[in-house]
């Protein structure tokens, strides 16, 4: 048996008729750019997320960049983000001449640590970017409180948690990505709502910000050939929108399938003393973009090697804190270190998780992990 980290083929086979028809329709109409499927998907997605505006764009990294441009952040402005995340989160901050201020995360839920954030504030701090890592929400209620108190914009990096629900203490439930000033997501094929190429989107409930985002994503154009600001060219292809339209109708079903897989892993792995199964955040549902274990006693790399020998794929997201990346040295003092981020980089390992539940495969993965730990 060939085990995959993400089984996109099995998923495609179940939606093939609809997806193929959607793609063929785009080709028949040669409506490759801004064809009808783009608007249709946008509206479907707005309804699904219960948000006023979705603005599709070319990929998740562009979404983050456009978000920061739309908030008029200026060179030298500081943006707080976790050090334990995908590079894109902080990369766009630096690209725009802003300063990424990398902070630590919580050891149990992997999200941005809020307790000691005040120490990072300066008169130049303008925004905070929580990342809903692995598929569950950061503590948005606390983040909003912090942001309001210090007059910061909140940009949610929701590339990994699309479909997840966050519940506020008053009982209000919101989809991740619709809680801050702007939410950003990615439709990279392996993401929970993935297309068949690159894609991304921004979401906001603010009419003015939405207008600005649309303008920036379209060459800063207010009306055709009249460019108000410098922008970029970032669009979602019609063919990708056609795929996403089909997959969006299954997103909740997909999240449930991922949860079923995660629950099965939990049930069979929780008893092994040298690993920690993922902790569920109190106020968020989990959509398990990744199923991520922590491995104690420095055995992570050895476990990964063992699994590879047994033809079981696994991934380490992420092996290096951002502040240890060469590209980010300009933002930190020599020897800068965040204890939880360091620890997680040496302990985390993500197992195959996707929408196609196959008990035989799961049992094999579980039995090999048990073999490795002799338990």
Ligand X SMILES: *Cc1c(COP(=O)(O)O)cnc(C)c1O
Stretch that binds ligand X, among 86-94, 212-220, 237-245, 290-298 (CB under 6 A): 86-94
Structure tokens, 290: 């990744």
Q: Least distance (Å) from ligand X to the CB of residue 70?
A: 17
Among 23, 41, 51, 59, binds ligand X (CB under 6 A): 59
**Mapped to the 3 state alphabet, what secondary structure does the chain carry?**
CCCCCCCHHHHHHHHHHHHHHHHHHHHHCCCCCCCHHHHHHHHHHHHHHCCCEEEEECCHHHHHHHHHHHCCCCCCCEEEEECCCCHHHHHHHHHCCCEEEEECECCCCCCECCCCHHHHCCCCEEEECCECHHHECCCHHHHHHHHHHCCCEEEEECCCCCCCEEECCCCCEEECCCCCCEEEEECCCCCCCCCCCCCEEEEECCHHHHHHHHHHHECCEEECCEECCCCCECCCCHHHHHHHHHHHCCHHHHHHHHHHHHHHHHHHHCCCCCEECCCCCCCECECCCCEEEEECCCCHHHHHHHHHHCCCCCECCCCCCHHHCHHHHHHCCCCCCCHHHHHHHHHEEEECCCCCCCHHHHHHHHHHHHHHCCC
Q: Which of residues 127-186 bind ligand X (CB under 6 A)?
A: 131, 157, 159-160, 186
Residue 290, interface with ligand X (CB under 6 A)?
no
Q: How far is the CB of 236 from ligand X (least distance, A)?
A: 11
Candidates 56-64, 134-142, 232-240, 250-258; binding stretch for ligand X (CB under 6 A): 56-64
Q: How far is the CB of 244 from ligand X (least distance, A)?
A: 13
Residue 370, number of CB atoms within 10 A of its CB: 14
Catalytic residues: 191
Minimum CB separation of residue 131 from ligand X in Å reads 5
* Residue number with CB closer to ligand X (79 or 272): 79
Nearer to ligand X, 184 or 351 (CB): 184
Name the minimum Å distance from CB 91 to ligand X.
Answer: 9
CA distance 197 to 251: 18
Of the candidate residues 42, 65, 85, 238, the single one contacting ligand X (CB under 6 A) = 85
Q: Choose the binding region for ligand X from 67-75, 85-93, 268-276, 345-353 (rule: CB under 6 A).
A: 85-93
Give first-to-last CA distance, the chain, whole Å: 24
Give residues 205-264 in contact with ligand X (rule: CB under 6 A). none
Among 73, 88, 195, 307, binds ligand X (CB under 6 A): 88
CB-nearer residue toward ligand X: 85 or 362: 85
Q: Which whole-number Å values give the CA distances from 228 to 66, 97, 207, 215, in the listed order?
A: 15, 21, 18, 8
Q: Which is nearer to ligand X, 111 or 347 (CB)?
A: 111
| Min dist. Cβ of residue 294 to ligand X (A) | 19
* Smaller CB separation from ligand X, 159 or 369: 159
Which of 35, 82, 194, 200 is the binder for ligand X (CB under 6 A)? 200
Restricting to residues 314-373, name those near ligand X by CB under 6 A. none
The CA distance from 202 to 60, in Å, is 8
Size of the site for ligand X (CB under 6 A): 15
Distance of CA 108 to the CA centre of its chain: 18
Tell me whether residue 49 or residue 64 sits nearer to ligand X (CB atom): 64
Residue nearest to ligand X (CB): 60
Radius of gyration of the chain from its Cα atoms, rounded to whole angstroms? 21
Closer by beta carbon to ligand X, 60 or else 183: 60
Question: Toward ligand X, which CB reaches closer, 184 or 362?
Answer: 184
In whole angstroms, how close is the CB of 73 to ligand X at the nearest point?
A: 18
Quote the least distance from Cβ 320 to ligand X, whole Å.
15
Q: Which residue of 11, 89, 106, 341 would you call a contact of ligand X, by CB under 6 A? A: 89
Contacts with ligand X, residue ranges (CB under 6 A): 59-61, 85-86, 88-89, 131, 157, 159-160, 186, 188, 198, 200
């Amino acid at each position: 048996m060939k085990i995959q980290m993400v089984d996109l083929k099995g998923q495609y086979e179940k939606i093939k008729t609809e997806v193929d028809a959607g793609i063929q329709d785009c080709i028949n109409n040669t409506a490759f750019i801004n064809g009808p499927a783009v608007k249709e998907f946008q509206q479907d997605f707005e309804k699904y997320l219960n948000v006023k505006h979705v603005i599709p764009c070319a990929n998740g990294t562009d979404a983050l960049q456009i978000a920061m441009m739309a908030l008029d952040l200026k060179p030298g402005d500081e943006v707080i983000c976790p050090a334990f995340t995908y590079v894109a989160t902080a990369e766009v901050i630096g690209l725009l001449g802003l300063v990424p201020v990398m902070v630590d995360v919580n050891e149990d839920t992997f999200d941005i640590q809020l307790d000691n954030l005040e120490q990072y504030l300066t008169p130049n701090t303008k925004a905070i970017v929580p990342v809903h890592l692995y598929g569950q929400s950061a503590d948005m209620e606390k983040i909003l409180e912090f942001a309001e108190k210090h007059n910061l914009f909140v940009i949610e990096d929701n590339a990994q948690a699309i479909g997840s629900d966050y519940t506020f203490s008053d009982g209000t439930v919101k989809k991740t990505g619709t809680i801050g000033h702007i939410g950003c997501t990615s439709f990279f094929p392996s993401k929970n709502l993935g297309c068949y190429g690159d894609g991304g989107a921004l979401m906001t409930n603010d009419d003015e910000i939405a207008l600005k985002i649309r303008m920036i994503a379209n060459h800063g154009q207010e009306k055709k050939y009249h460019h108000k600001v410098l922008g970029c060219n970032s669009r979602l292809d019609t063919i990708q929108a056609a795929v996403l339209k089909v997959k969006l109708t299954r997103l909740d079903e997909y999240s449930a399938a991922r949860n079923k897989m995660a629950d099965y892993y939990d049930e069979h792995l929780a008893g092994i003393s040298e690993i920690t199964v993922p902790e569920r955040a109190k106020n968020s549902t989990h959509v398990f973009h990744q199923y991520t274990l922590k491995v104690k006693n420095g055995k992570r790399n050895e476990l990964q090697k063992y699994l590879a020998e047994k033809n079981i794929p696994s991934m380490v997201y992420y092996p290096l804190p951002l502040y240890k990346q060469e590209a980010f040295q300009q933002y930190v003092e020599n020897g800068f270190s965040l204890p939880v981020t360091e620890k997680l980089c040496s302990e985390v390992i993500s197992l195959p998780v996707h929408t196609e539940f196959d008990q035989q495969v799961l049992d094999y993965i579980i039995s090999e992990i048990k073999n490795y730990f002799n338990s």
